[in-house]
Amino acid sequence: MSDSSLRLVWVYPDLLSTYGDQGNALVVERRARQRGLDVMRIDVRSDQPVPTSGDIYLIGGGEDRPQRLAAERLRRDGGLSRAASNGAIIFSVCAGYQILGHEFINDLGEREPGLGLIDVISTRGEGERCVGDVLADIDPQFGLPQLTGFENHQGITHLGPTARPFARTVIGRGNGTGDGTEGAYNDTVFGTYMHGPVMARNPQIADLLLKLALDVNALPPTDDRWYEALRAERIASATQPV
């Protein structure tokens, strides 16, 4: 890490920022500043090189064609892959999650190579889309409360032997494989299908990224009343009988 600031990189907001996913960058930045951290936020458009010196990288979701364009440009650029090799923290959502895997199905119906940063492969489901609120239990090793989010995807993501599920669903489809898994992670690279934005619903995930980037076990407490009110509202909505 820099001696002067935390470098937060928001990747391709012009292609990958559906369902308010840019809110994830806002939440991570705010929660860092609430702890007195100096934050340098860098928004990298798809016609710009991805810096390799960031501490935390965030990638959102997108439609099928922008997803293909983003994957092509990230492969050609190579900056995000080099950042991962340097130990950077990367958190991706939906289309961004699929891009970080080995391959996914693009808008042309073809297999599109990903970056291979998470050991997953994504295919396209033949049934109904995975749409609706999700509740899931995050991997216990992180010590985080239940995950709440909103999914809207046709993709089916299969985990390879070196990927671990980020969470296991209580409500919702998650990775769409029928095994209850939601998202995946390898070391410091994370993926999820959760929108919401996911950091606003789950600020403890933002704190997890900060702790990993800072290499600390705990952060000073902050006022979480707004976040907890939002969480309570969305969890109650998800658990109410239809």
Residue positions in the annotated binding site for substrate?
129
Rounding to the nearest 10 degrees, give the CA dihedral for residues 175, 178, 181, 184. Answer: -40
CB 204 within 8 A of CB 145: yes
- Rounded to whole angstroms, what are the CA distances from 48 to 18, 39, 62? 20, 21, 18
> Which among 10, 4, 13, 51 is positioned nearest to 209, based on CA atoms?
10
List the binding residues: 129
Respond yes or no: is residue 94 known to be catalytic. Answer: yes
Q: Of 94, 102, 153, 158, which is the active-site residue? A: 94
Cα 12 from chain centre: 14
Q: 50: which DSSP letter? A: P
Q: Of 102, 153, 158, 195, which is the active-site residue? A: 195
d(CA 216, CA 191): 22
Q: Could you list the active site residues? A: 94, 195
